[in-house]
Structure 1
Amino acid sequence: MAEIRVPTLGESVTEATIATWFKQVGDTVAVDEMLCELETDKVTVEVPATAAGVLSEIVAKEGETVGVDALLATVDENAEAGAKSAPAEKPSAKDDAPAESGGESAPLDIMVPSLGESVSEATVSTWFKKVGDTVSQDEMLCELETDKVSVEVPSPASGTITEILAEEGATVEAGGKLGVMRPGEGTTSPTQPGSSAEIANSASNEPKQEKDVEDAPSAKKMMAEKGISRDQVQGSGKDGRVMKEDVMKMASAPASSAPAPQPASIPRSPVPAEDAAREERVKMTRLRQTIARRLKEAQNTAAMLTTYNEVDMTATMDLRKEYKDLFEKKHGVKLGFMSFFTKACCHALKEVPDVNAEIDGTDVVYKNFVHMGVAVGTPTGLVVPVVRDADKMSFADIEKKIAELGTRARDGKLSMAEMQGGTFTISNGGVYGSLMSSPILNPPQSGILGMHKIQQRPMVINGEIKIRPMMYLALSYDHRIVDGKGAVTFLVRVKEALEDPRRLLMDL
């Protein structure tokens, strides 16, 4: 009997939610065939079969939260398909337990679960149930949204929803109350309609239950991010369940095949009819709302100021051109400009530690390390994955890590842990053609460096006019903690290191 367990989920990630089972008890499976999909924050983890045989038992059902190395299922390597005499997946004792006798059961609170390290509040994104609905234990009740993280709230017991205290759009704190339910109702008898026992026993006999079909969490996230409504997607999963692949297919379909946008319904100032007919209203994604809120908070909180300089990229470009082929041959990664800028910033941050610090109340917290945030544009918005301990990394290590994080960001597979803890940020608007801009701080950081387009310009060099590849640099900083002298010094040190990369080797 082969055991299927939860694989390693990544650094600091200890639990996951069962999103989708692709196989049922009794199905024949091959080695490495995909059995189920797990969801952790924004990471999707697929679990393959470790042995060939028949799926004899599913221990963790869809919607359940499991820890690393927890048992998910078992595969009988000696059995044949359909050889089982009874389903190995059985309703749990608590599902079969009758409601409390001697009157109504005591009300049960539906609470906000743990939201993760340093996350204290969330927004109620979607309620899947309404007051009066009967639910079974672990059935999904609602979904919460924190900064880039979706948290699903399962029912703590079987029963009936009696009250919803936090409506959609409300902000709730960790440990707060979302609603109230009356446990036990509808579960007093195994044959009572809607009971968890009946659902479990009839799942394989009836093609579709008289209840809402729970879509895959990854599909719901993608629909929200891309502004696609549920009725636009044809589900290919069990009972019409919408899978991630269905949403991707819908998103890539020609625009003409998509339903026409619904007219705006939010009251606002009068708009001429001929203009209204040409408008389109699209709800902001949760990611875009988070970006907007955090950037506005940075402007409202920090005393933000930007200082500028320009750098002659000749020496860096010549060095890169000379060694890029040898570098790629040895390290298996291309030598770009980001490693030069990262090393130059790490060098400058050692001399001007205020730029690498943050304000906590009336204290200043100095960081004796550099966790470099690298802003990455994705189809759904801007994210800032973090290169940890960048000050201790080589050029090759930095290039490899940035390439890896960039790919994961564009695929939507970054975990929350990979976007937290940055001490300084680099934003490269030059890749989009930006010649000059003022980047906005990424709180609680006190500094962000903006890179821009490299452009050939006439410069006076030793009394002669020469054409040089020039780049404007912009450092936005929190003037509450960083003085003008420190900001200018930082930017000058970055400029010096890029104009003469040998200074990095000499620690000058």
Structure 2
Amino acid sequence: MSTINIEVPDIGDFSDVPVIEVMVKPGDRVEADAPLVSLESDKATMDIPAPHAGVIGQITVKVGDRVSQGSVIGTMEVGEAPAAAPAPAPAPVAAAVTPAPTAAVAAPVAAAGAAPATTTQSARGDYTPAAGAVALPSAADIAAELVGGKKAHASPSMRAYARELGVDLARVKASGPKGRITREDINAFVKGALQAPATAQAATGGGGGLDLLPWPKVDFTKFGDIERKPLSRIRKLSAANLARNWVMIPAVTYHEDADVTELEAFRQQINAEQAKAGVKLTMLAFIIKAVCAALKKFPEFNSSIDLQAEEPALIMKQYCHIGFAADTPGGLVVPVIRDADKKGVAQLAAECGELATKARDGKLSAAEMQGACFTISSVGGLGGTGFAPIINAPEVAILGVSRSTMKPVWDGSAFQPRLILPLSLTADHRVIDGAAATRFNAHVAALLADMRRVLM
């Protein structure tokens, strides 16, 4: 075996980030990518993963120390060794906003594909809990905690881990020092949820459970040959987050058509004129510009709902960071363009291209996927006439864009060929009602029909 240094990888533009939790000790055996220490900046929490599988030699940092990219946090022995049980995947960068305490037991069940490694899965798909699993708390216990105003005591990294699995920390029984929730507590809760009856009630009581049937257990080999293909890390994380968002958010999708005939002609004209300069404007860049203007006119779309506070409220954001879905070999990721409202269309197009390339190459930093106020999911390059995108919590809306098509449009005296771009806006009905969503979608369509309106 050989000894290597454990260094802090690329963590974006952050430096001198404080260590808030050390998760391992000398002698611990870890798998590659297992979280070792947790860092927290003023904007994000991130776990530093193990670069290889091996045994921890020493940890040279403690809680309160500050580190930057390249800082050595310890050493580890790597090489041939008996296999150990795989460790949980490191938690993704997550904003400090925590999910609403209304999650039913269905959320962890939906996230079963991302269950921690301490729960074993057979080839048939059934789960076997490890020894020491705790029972799922009763609805009465949960209601008593919520009524009494008790808040979950957990570090930011544990909150991020719980969000990854769709777990409501208000329902997790703590076993750590001073009532602190540990990773083992979250793992035990998920294992208990997987075994609990599907009729378990939600934390709010009153028969709010979803009564979901257990996931079907099928031996597919009975029907023919199969190939078992492991999920990519991106798909594992997305599965848990999307399942939680689909279950927890009362979402409604609104459709609108935008006439982009003149805008497309203008875009092609500028690209032809500036071809030698390397300028290439994209329709996505214009859509981002239109969305930024619409967010200023309808500020409730640039908000997040906070139900964890003693007094529930809307967090109204004074900045405008726009995320866009990028297709990669490993699955969809969402790079974020910061201060998009302060940038021109050419700069937005260039930045979109750079971020999309980094996403496909797997080189996006943590900071480049964090802090979006609103997300745009465009499938226009592939096809489609409309779809219902899933909201990217804690945002309250997402805009889906499909393929533009030439259609006959009546102008009052005759049908004229017009290029029509379908828009599909999904909104959180707890924050945005149908009238507001329709106005927002119509306003974006009007801006795309005549981009001069953005100047007003």
| Interval containing the TM-score (normalised by the shorter chain) | 0.5 to 0.7
Pick closer, same or farther for the CA change 1:341–1:396 going to 2, 3 Å.
same
Q: SS at 2:381's partner residue?
A: helix
Aligned to 1:426: 376
Give the superposition deviation at 1:145.
2.4
Matching of residue 13 in structure 1 with residue 26 in structure 2: no
Matches within 5 A, 1:237-252: none
Q: Does 1:474 align with 2:410?
A: no
Q: CA deviation at 1:109?
A: 8.2
- One-letter amino acid matched to 2:38: S
Please report how far the alpha carbon of residue 491 of structure 1 lies from its aligned counterpart in structure 2 after TM superposition: 0.7
Match of 2:386 in 1: 436
Amino acid paired to 2:262: A
Structure 1 vs Structure 2 CA RMSD? 3.9
Aligned length: 302
How far residue 121 of structure 1 moved from its aligned partner, in angstroms, is 9.1
Task: Work out whether residues 46 and 157 of structure 2, in 8 Å CA contact, stay in contact via their aligned partners in 1.
Answer: no
Amino acid at match of 1:13: F
Is 1:503 aligned with 2:450?
Answer: no
- Say if 1:403 and 1:148 are closer, same or farther in 2 by CA, change over 3 A: same
Query: Is the 8 Å Cα contact of residues 91 and 157 (structure 2) preserved in structure 1?
Result: no
The corresponding residue for 2:218 is 269
Matches within 5 A, 1:155-234: 167=118
Alignment of 1:52-91 (within 5 A): none
What do the CA deviations read for 1:190-241 (whole angstroms, capped 9, x no partner)?
xxxxxxxxxxxxxxxxxxxxxxxxxxxxxxxxxxxxxxxxxxxxxxxxxxxx
Q: Distance in 1 between matches of 2:424 and 2:340?
A: 21
Q: Which amino acid aligns with 1:466?
A: Q
Structure 1 residue 479, shift from structure 2 partner: 0.8
2:166 corresponds to: none
Q: SS at 1:282's partner residue?
A: coil
Cα 1:114–1:453 shift into 2, 3 Å: same
Query: In the TM superposition, what whole-angstrom CA distance separates every residue of 1:359-379 from its partner, at most 9, and x where no partner exists?
Result: 122110111121000110100
Structure 2 counterpart of 1:139, which letter?
M
Which secondary structure does the structure 2 equivalent of 1:139 belong to?
Answer: strand
- Give the match for residue 237 of structure 1: none
**Which amino acid in structure 1 is aligned with residue 13 of structure 2?**
S
Q: Specify the alignment match of 1:360 in structure 2.
A: 306
User: Which whole-Å CA distance do the structure 1 matches of 2:268 and 2:51 have between them?
Assistant: 52
The answer to whether the 8 A contact 2:389-2:399 is kept is yes
Give yes or no for the alignment of 1:388 onto 2:332. Answer: no
Distance in 1 between residues matched to 2:89 and 2:394, nearest whole Å:
20
- In structure 2, give the amino acid aligned to 1:494: V
- What are the Cα deviations for residues 123-163 of structure 1, in whole angstroms up to 9, with x where unaligned? 9999945xxxx7644215886523557xxxxxxxxxxxxxx
1: CA distance, partners of 2:117 / 2:36 = 10
The one-letter amino acid paired with 2:287 is F
Q: Deviations over 1:324-370 (max 9, x none)?
A: 2334445x330111111011101111111111111122110111121
Indicate how the Cα distance of structure 1 residues 409 and 322 shifts in structure 2: closer, same or farther if over 3 A, else same. same
- Note closer, same or farther for the CA distance 1:452–1:166 as it changes in structure 2 (3 Å cut): closer
Once residues 243 and 38 of structure 2 are traced to their aligned partners in structure 1, the CA distance between those partners, rounded to angstroms, is 27
How far 1:290 moved relative to its partner? 0.6
Shift in Å, 1:286 = 2.1
TM-score by length of 2: 0.58
Deviation at 1:12, TM superposition (A): 2.6
Report percent identity of matched pairs.
Answer: 33
CA distance in 2, matches of 1:147, 1:395: 34
Residue aligning to 2:256: 309
Residue 38 of structure 2 is aligned to residue 114 of structure 1: yes
1:463 equivalent among 391, 405, 413? 413
Unaligned runs of 5+ residues in structure 2 are 1-6, 18-24, 30-34, 59-74, 79-85, 94-115, 121-129, 134-153, 159-214
Aligned equivalent of 2:266: 319
Q: Which runs of 5+ in 1 are unaligned?
A: 1-5, 17-105, 150-164, 177-265
Relative distance call for 1:400 and 1:10 in structure 2 (3 A) is farther
Write the letter of the residue equivalent to 1:269: V
Residue 463 of structure 1: how far off its partner (Å): 3.1
Matched, 1:139 2:86: no
CA 1:348 to 1:327, structure 2 compared with 1: closer, same or farther past 3 Å? Answer: farther
**Partner Cα distance (2:454, 2:56) in 1:** 63
Q: Deviations over 1:383-414 (max 9, x none)?
A: 00000000000111111111110110000000
Q: Residues 37 and 48 of structure 2 are in contact (CA less than 8 Å); yes or no, is this contact kept in structure 1?
A: no
Q: Which residue in 2 is equivalent to 1:401?
A: 351
Question: Do the aligned partners of residues 108 and 267 (structure 1) sit closer, same or farther apart at CA in structure 2, a change above 3 Å counting?
Answer: same
Question: Equivalent residue for 2:396?
Answer: 446
Is the Cα–Cα contact under 8 Å of residues 271 and 279 in structure 2 kept in the other structure? no
Equivalence map 1:270-309=2 (5 Å): 270-271=219-220, 273=222, 275-276=223-224, 278-309=225-256
- The 8 Å contact of residues 127 and 143 in structure 1, kept in 2 or not, is answered as no
Partner Cα separation in structure 1 for residue 262 and residue 446 of structure 2: 11
Amino acid at match of 1:438: A
Using the alignment, how far apart are the partners of 1:144 and 1:123 within structure 2? 13
In the other structure, the counterpart of 2:282 is 336
Deviation at 1:454, TM superposition (A): 0.9
Cα separation, 2, equivalents of 1:379 and 1:14: 30
Q: Which amino acid aligns with 2:250?
A: A
Confirm or deny: 8 A CA contact 1:125 1:144 kept in the other structure.
Answer: no
Verify the 8 A CA contact 1:370 1:389 in the aligned structure 2: yes
Superposition deviation, residue 485 in structure 1: 1.7
Cα gap change, 1:125/1:14 in structure 2, threshold over 3 Å: closer, same or farther? closer
In structure 2, C-alpha distance between the alignment counterparts of 1:321 and 1:374, rounded to whole Å: 22
Pair 1:476–1:125, CA change in 2 (3 A): farther
Equivalent pair of 2:49/2:90 in contact (CA under 8 Å): no
CA distance in 1, matches of 2:8, 2:274: 34
Question: How far apart in 1 are the matches of 2:453 and 2:305?
Answer: 31
8 A contact 2:284–2:349 mirrored in 1: yes
1:150-193 CA deviation, whole Å, 9 max, x = no partner? Answer: xxxxxxxxxxxxxxx984889996788xxxxxxxxxxxxxxxxx
AA aligned to 2:228 is R
TM-score by length of 1: 0.53
Larger radius of gyration, structure 1 or 2?
1
One-letter amino acid of the counterpart of residue 295, structure 2: L
Contact kept in structure 2, 1:475 and 1:491, CA below 8 Å: yes
Aligned partner letter, 1:268 = K
Q: Going by fraction, where is strand more abundant, 1 or 2? A: 1
Is the CA contact 1:327–1:333 (under 8 Å) kept in the aligned structure 2?
yes
2:327 to 377, 392, 407: 377
